[in-house]
Copies of this chain bind each other. A is one copy, B any other.
Amino acid sequence: MSLDGYVAGPSQSVDNPLGIGGMRLHEWAFALAIFREQHELDGGEINESTRVVEESLSNIGATVMGRNMFGGHPGRWDPKKPWNGWWGTNPPFHHPVFVLTHHERKPLVLEGGTTFTFVTNCIESALEQARRAARGKDVSLGGGAKAAQQYLVAGLVDEMEISLVPTLLGSGERLFDGVGDDLHGLELVRTVAGPQVVHLRFAKP
């Protein structure tokens, strides 16, 4: 999230899913060896942010994400021209992923253990399916902002990691729009300062 509260820049599109300037929010992660490894890239650094990413990846049994994080507008989901979202043939999840959408679609089974299941009824159902699929491990809420807002307002978020990037985007998609005037039971429990990012961990007491 930028210092002014945005998790994506303006003019998000299929060609630029993070919006103008949105990539600046992820540069700290792209610089890390642990992130590059997960995306099958060489090189990268080890710094204070490494253990935050390690924690966020450990013990995850399933992921829930919104439609935009899966792959943008539903026009891409034409069954005659299959679309695997942004994620290619071997997505970096390697576990079951549940996508919130209004458009029904059969599950997508990809290489490396990633499956995308499309949930059309409600966020509670997606979470329940993800919990069962995670078999005792944690469920990660991938994003984007709208999915995070819905789960926050419903009080269904047990832990939240904000990686705050010291820059402004000025416009775009705000993480906390419509969430109200409290954190729905979450409290700040840990702060880690990395290079050009501050990681704020929230949890229910």
Contacts and interface: CB of A to CB of B under 8 A. Distances in A.
Given A166-B200, A167-B183, A182-B168, A4 B191 contact: no
A176 B21 contact: no
A167 to B, nearest CB: 6
Contact of A169 (B4, B181, B188, B202): B181
A60 interface: no
A181 B168 contact: yes
A40 to B, nearest CB: 31
Contacts of A182: 167-168
B170 A187 contact: no
B166 A183 contact: yes
Interface in A149-192: 162, 164, 166-171, 174-176, 179-183, 187-188, 191
B166 A3 contact: no
A193 interface: yes
B200 A183 contact: no
B181 A21 contact: yes
A143 to B, nearest CB: 16
Contacts of A180: 168, 170
**A-B pairs, 8 with minimum CB distance:** A166-B188, A191-B193, A170-B181, A4-B176, A5-B5, A170-B180, A191-B198, A169-B181
